[in-house]
Structure 1
Amino acid sequence: MLRDQAEHHPDGTVVAEGGAGLTLSGLRTAAAGIARGLIALGVEPGDRVAMWGVNSAYWVAHAFGIWDAGAVIVPLSSRYKGIEAAQLIEKTGAKVLITGAGPTSAPLAGLLPPLPGLRIVGPGMGAAAGPGIGRKTGPGVGSGIDSGIGPGIGPGIGPGTGPGTGPDEGTPGAGLRSLGAEVSEREAEDRALAVRPDDLCEIMSTSGTTGAPKGVMLDHAQILRGYWDWSEIVTLGEHDRYPVIAPFSHGFGLNAGLIACVLRRATMVPVPVFTPDALMSLISSERASVLAGPPTLFHRLLDELDRGSWDVSSLRVAICGAAAVPSALITRMVERVGLERMINAYGLMEGTVVSMTRSGDPIDVIANTTGRPVPGIEVKIVDDDGKEVAPGERGEILQRGYGVMRGYWNEPAKTAEAVDADGWLRTGDVGVLDEAGNLAIVDRKKELYIVNGFNVSPAEVESLLLREGSLAQAAVIGVPDPAAGEAGLAYVVARPGVTPDPEALLAWARANMSGHKVPRRVIVVDALPANANGKIDKRALRDRLP
C-alpha cells in the first residue's frame, strides 16, 4: 500500500508536524532505511518489535520501517510506566524496542527494569543516558543505539531538510539507517515484498478481567480492509487534515489514524500530548477538517466556542465511538460548527471495526446507536444460554467476520473462550439490535470501565496496587466521573500490622501506572464483601458508594 501510494503520489504530504511535512515518498524512503537497520540488528520476519513514544512523525516512519522488515509491531502506551511496558515486552518476546519522545523529558527506556537481550533504539541515546540504553551497559540490561536525532531537531523532522530528502541528521530513523548501510537495498526490498496479507501486522494490548493485559493478534489484510471501509464511510480523503489525538499505541490511533491517513492520502497531524485547552488552537491553526474523540471532547469544543471567537469553519466530519451521544450535542455541532456529518461507531481491539452510522441517518439513530454492521461483519445478540434474542431485546453482542482477531498471543485457551468454533467473537458488551439492524451499546458484561476513552481493567489495577506492598487485598470499580466519563474507585484492605495511607497509595499509583488507570480515590476498609462463591462482591461495593 505504501509503495503504491508513494509511486503514484510521491509529493503528497501525509504527516504535518512543527511546520514541516513528511511526504509519501519521504515516508517510503525513511521506512526502507529503518528496515535495513532492523535487519542489521537481526530482526527476522515475524519477530516482534516494540514501539514506545508519543504521536510523532518519528513514530509513523518507524512503524512502517517495522512492517518493511517483515516484523510485527507491538505498540506500548506512552503513558506506561516501567512495570507496564516490561510486561508487554516480555509477554510478546519483543527482540527490539524503539523509543521516541515521551510525554516528559525523561527517557522512556530509563523507566524499564533490566530486560536481558533486549536491543533498544531511540533518539539521543548515549552511554550515560540511563540504565538499559547505553552501548556499554552491563550484562542482562540490554544494549542501545542512538537514533542519530539530536536535541533541538525534534522527533523525526529537521527544519529545512525535508524528511527523506535531506541528510540523515534531520530524517526519521537516521541511526537505524546508518546501521543498515551493511544491508543491501535489494535484500530489504525482498524482505518487504515477501510480507503476505495473512502475516501478523500488530499485537495490541487489551485490558482483560484477569489482571494481565492480553496481546491481540491482527493481520495485514484485516487492518487494510477494515480501515479502508472505515475511511470510506467517514469520507476521509486527500484534502483532509486530521489531528490524531488518540495515541498511536491505541488501536484507534494506529489504525483509524496513522494507517487510514496513508490509505487515503489524508494529512495526519500527530498530537503528542493532548490537552483540552489546546483543542481550539489546534483546530484553527491546523485547519482541521476531521476530528475524532469521545463526547466530552465535543462538549469542550462547544463550551470554548461559547466563550470565544474561534474559527472552526474547517471542520466537516466528527466521529464519536461507542458512546451515547446526546441529540442536543449533535444538533449543536451541526448548527454551531457547520459539520457535514457526525458519525457514531463501535469497534473493539479483538474485532476491529464492527458498526457505524451512515450518511443520511437521522439524529436519533446517531445519538442512540452505533449504526449498522460494516460490510463483511455479522452481528447478533444472544442471551446467557447463547440463544439469539428478538430485535429490541438486550443480550451479549457477538461478532463474526474478517475483522475478528487471529487470537491472543500465546494464549490459546483464552482465545477459545473468546472466539467459538463457528468464528463468533464474544465481545463482552451488552447491546440491542433494532428492526433496521442498528446496534445500541447499553452495558458492559465485563467489569471494564472507560476513562477518557481508554478501557481500564479493574483486575489489572488491583494487581498493580498490590505491588505497592502495604495491601492484602484490593477491589476496584468504575464510578461515574463528570470530567472523564468514568473513574476508578479502589477499596483496599491492609496487611496485618500496616496502616496504609490513601494519599501515599495514590502517589505510588501515579508513579507506577498510566494516568487513566490511577484510581480517583482509595478507601481503606477492614474487609471486602464476598458472595456465596467466595469472590469479592463488587455489586455490594457499588451499594456502598460514598
Structure 2
Amino acid sequence: MQAATSGSAVAQVAAHLHTPATLAHLLAHSVARAPDRTALVFGGRETSYRELGLRVAALARELRQRVPRGGIVAAPLANSPECVVTAFAAFAAGVRYAPLNPFYGRSELATLFRARAPDLIVHNRDSAAAARALAEDTGGAALLELDATAPFEDDGGDAAGAILSVCPDLSPDEPALLIFTGGTTGLSKAVEHSHAGMVFSVRAHCTGWELRYDVERILDVAPLFHIWGLGFAMLAPLYLASTLILLPRYQPEQVLQQLQRQRATVFAGGPAPIYAGLLASPEFASTDLGHLTLALTGGSPCPQPLREAWMQKVGTPLLEGWGMSEGAPLVYNWRSRPQRPSSVGHPAPGIELRLVDVVDPSRPVPVGEPGEVCVRGPQVMRGYRLQENPAETGLDADGWLHSGDVGYLDADGYLYLVDRMKEMILVGGYNVYPRQVEDHIRQYPDVADVAVVGIPDPYLGENPYAFVVARRGGSVDVDALLAWCQETLVKYKRPVGIQVLDELPRTGANKLDKRRLREILKATTSG
C-alpha cells in the first residue's frame, strides 16, 4: 500500500498521559493515587479504589492458582461489580479475560468455544444457569461464583502492591483480552488484545476527548462484554483515577435520573437510539444536565437531526466515533475539532488509515473516492484466536486490518462511512451475521429454507429481516415463528419481520441471490 490517502501524519497520544506497563499497573496506579476515592458506583453502592484493589488482588490470587499462565477465564456477566473485579483479576493474574453475553442462548454460548474450552468460568448469582450450561457444553470447565459486594476484611496492607504481586513478571506484550465477534464466514471469532494494546487504546480515548485525571464521572449503560463498554467505559475512568457510574441496563428514565443525581461529566452513551430515547422521555425536560461536558455515540449511524437536537437541548456536543472489536478507537470526532455532518471524524492517535480499491486492495484510492477502510496501529488486535484454522489471523502481511467497511476521505481528512463489503448486519453496535440467524431459524419445524438480510432502521442502522420457505405440503405461521425467535434469540438477532416465499431467488450459478431479496424487501415494505 502507498502513503495514507489523507496525507496527514499519525496523531500522537497526549504527552501528559502516563503509560502503565499493563492493565494491572493501570488499576494499581489509581489505587495508590486515590485509595479513598469512589472508583465504582452501582445500584446505590459505592466502592472505593482501595476496596476494589483488595477485591481484585484476592480473586487474582485464586485465578493464579486455578488457571495456567495465558489460560482463559470466561465470564458470562451482565453489567455488575463482578464484571469489573473479574476483568482486572484476570489481567493481574496473567490470564486471558473472555467476557461473554450472558443473555445468549445455550447453543450460542457453546459455539464460541468450539475450538478450545475455557479453563475457568466466573459468574455471579444472576448468570449461574448460563455458566453451568456452558461448563456442561464445553467439557466440564470449572466454575467459580463471585459476589463482589459481600463483606470482606481489610488487612490494612498495600492494596496497589497486592495487585502487582500476583504476577510480578507480567509483560506488556502478553495477551490480556479475548473478546468475541463475528467473522467474514459468519462464525464468531475470538479477538485477542495485549496489555500494551489495551493501555494504548485507553490513552488514545483520553487524548482526543481531552478527559481529565481525578474529576471525571463517567456514566455507562453499554455492556461490559462489548469492546466499547470494556475498552472505554470501564477502563477510562479507572485509568484516570476517576469514577465509573455503572448501570445494569438501558432504561431512559433511570439514565436521566442517574446523570443528574451522580453529576456525571461524561455519558459513554452508545448507538443513536439511546439518545433518541432520552430526548423522547417525559423526564428529559426536567433533568439537570448542566454538569455534562461530553456525550459519545457510535455503533450505528447518528442522524444529523439527532445531533442537532441534542446540542440544542443539552448544550453538549454529541461526538460520534468508529471502532470494532478488532481495534478501538480507530476514528472519532475529536473534542477540539469541528464536526462535519455524517462524518465519523479523524483517525485516533496511533492509527494509520488507508483506503484501497474494493476489487484490487493493492491500489489506494484518492481523496473523495470510496474504498475499503484499512487501519494499522498499536490498538489493533494481535489476531484471531481459538480458530479451527489458526492461519486465519485477520491481518495482512504488513499488519493492516481490512475492515470490510467502505468509506471516503474528504480533503481535510474527515472519514465518511458509506457501505459495507460484508453481509454483516449492524444492529445498534452489534454485529449480526445472517448465517447465524439463518442456521437458527432452520431449526424451526415448519421451515425448509431461509435467508436473512438487513432492513434499514433510522437509529439502529439495520435490523434482521427473514425470508422463509415452508416445508413441502406445509405452511409457516409467521406470528408463531416471530414469537419463537423472540424466545430463543438474543434481542438484536431477532428478525423484525418475516416473509414467506415459494422459493428463494438464486443466480445462474445456483447461489442465493440476496440482491434480489433486498429488491423484494424494498418493494414490499416501502411506503
- Which TM-score bucket, shorter chain as reference? 0.7 to 0.9
Alpha-carbon distance in 2 for matches of 1:297, 1:438: 25
The structural deviation recorded for 1:200 is 0.9
What letter is aligned with 1:378?
E
SS of residue matched to 1:157: coil
Match of 2:139 in 1: 116
SS of residue matched to 2:281: helix
Structure 2 residue 268 is the aligned partner of structure 1 residue 276? no
Alpha-carbon distance in 1 for matches of 2:391, 2:328: 16
Alpha-carbon distance in 2 for matches of 1:415, 1:431: 28
Match of 2:187 in 1: 212
SS of residue matched to 1:418: coil
What percentage of aligned pairs have identical amino acids?
Answer: 32
Alpha-carbon distance in 1 for matches of 2:493, 2:81: 27
What letter is aligned with 2:171?
R
Can you list the C-alpha shifts for 1:368-406, whole angstroms capped at 9, x where unaligned? 212111222111111121111110111110111222211
Inter-CA distance 522–274: structure 2 relative to 1 (3 Å threshold)? same
Counterpart pick for 1:377 among 343, 351, 354:
351
Match of 2:455 in 1: 479
Match of 1:37 in 2: 62
For CA contacts below 8 A with separation 6 or more, give which structure has more relative contact order.
2
Structure 2 residue 313 is the aligned partner of structure 1 residue 313? no
The structural deviation recorded for 1:63 is 1.1
Would you say the 8 A contact 1:54–1:101 is kept in 2?
no
SS of residue matched to 1:347: strand
Match of 2:83 in 1: 59
Structure 2 residue 122 is the aligned partner of structure 1 residue 98? yes
Match of 2:202 in 1: 227
Can you list the C-alpha shifts for 1:246-287, whole angstroms capped at 9, x where unaligned? 100001101111112211122112221212343322322222
What letter is aligned with 1:541?
L
Would you say the 8 A contact 1:209–1:460 is kept in 2?
no
Counterpart pick for 1:259 among 235, 239, 245:
235
Can you list the C-alpha shifts for 1:404-443, whole angstroms capped at 9, x where unaligned? 2111114385864732111111100000011111111111
Inter-CA distance 164–83: structure 2 relative to 1 (3 Å threshold)? farther
- Give the TM-score normalised by structure 2: 0.86
Structure 2 residue 524 is the aligned partner of structure 1 residue 500? no
The structural deviation recorded for 1:512 is 2.4
Match of 2:17 in 1: none
The structural deviation recorded for 1:102 is 4.0
Inter-CA distance 327–509: structure 2 relative to 1 (3 Å threshold)? closer
Counterpart pick for 1:241 among 210, 217, 222:
217
Alpha-carbon distance in 2 for matches of 1:63, 1:544: 46
The structural deviation recorded for 1:203 is 1.0
Alpha-carbon distance in 1 for matches of 2:140, 2:281: 50
The structural deviation recorded for 1:533 is 3.1
Stretch of structure 1 that moved more, 484-493 or 466-475: 466-475
Inter-CA distance 333–189: structure 2 relative to 1 (3 Å threshold)? closer
SS of residue matched to 1:197: coil
Match of 2:226 in 1: 250
Counterpart pick for 2:149 among 141, 153, 157:
157
Would you say the 8 A contact 1:394–1:431 is kept in 2?
yes
Stretch of structure 1 that moved more, 458-467 or 277-286: 277-286
Alpha-carbon distance in 2 for matches of 1:396, 1:46: 34
Stretch of structure 1 that moved more, 76-85 or 497-506: 497-506
SS of residue matched to 2:366: coil
The structural deviation recorded for 1:477 is 0.6
Match of 1:400 in 2: 376
The structural deviation recorded for 1:309 is 1.6
Would you say the 8 A contact 1:276–1:300 is kept in 2?
yes
- Give the TM-score normalised by structure 1: 0.83
Stretch of structure 1 that moved more, 245-254 or 512-521: 512-521
The structural deviation recorded for 1:245 is 1.1
SS of residue matched to 1:193: coil
Counterpart pick for 1:388 among 364, 370, 374:
364
Alpha-carbon distance in 2 for matches of 1:214, 1:300: 32
Would you say the 8 A contact 1:34–1:62 is kept in 2?
yes
Alpha-carbon distance in 1 for matches of 2:423, 2:126: 30
Residues 345-424 of structure 1: pairs in structure 2 closer than 5 A: 345-363=321-339, 365=340, 367-383=341-357, 384-386=359-361, 387-411=363-387, 416=392, 418-424=394-400
Segments of 5+ residues of structure 1 without an aligned counterpart are 123-146, 150-155, 168-184
How many residue pairs align between the two structures?
488
Match of 1:74 in 2: 98
Can you list the C-alpha shifts for 1:496-532, whole angstroms capped at 9, x where unaligned? 4543332332233223221110111222222111123
Can you list the C-alpha shifts for 1:199-251, whole angstroms capped at 9, x where unaligned? 11111111234232111111111111011111222233332222211100001
Would you say the 8 A contact 1:322–1:441 is kept in 2?
no
Segments of 5+ residues of structure 2 without an aligned counterpart are 1-25
How large is the RMSD of aligned CA atoms in angstroms? 2.5
Would you say the 8 A contact 1:2–1:28 is kept in 2?
yes
The structural deviation recorded for 1:77 is 0.8
Inter-CA distance 424–26: structure 2 relative to 1 (3 Å threshold)? same
Alpha-carbon distance in 1 for matches of 2:99, 2:352: 28
Structure 2 residue 247 is the aligned partner of structure 1 residue 287? no
Match of 2:314 in 1: 337
Alpha-carbon distance in 1 for matches of 2:486, 2:406: 32
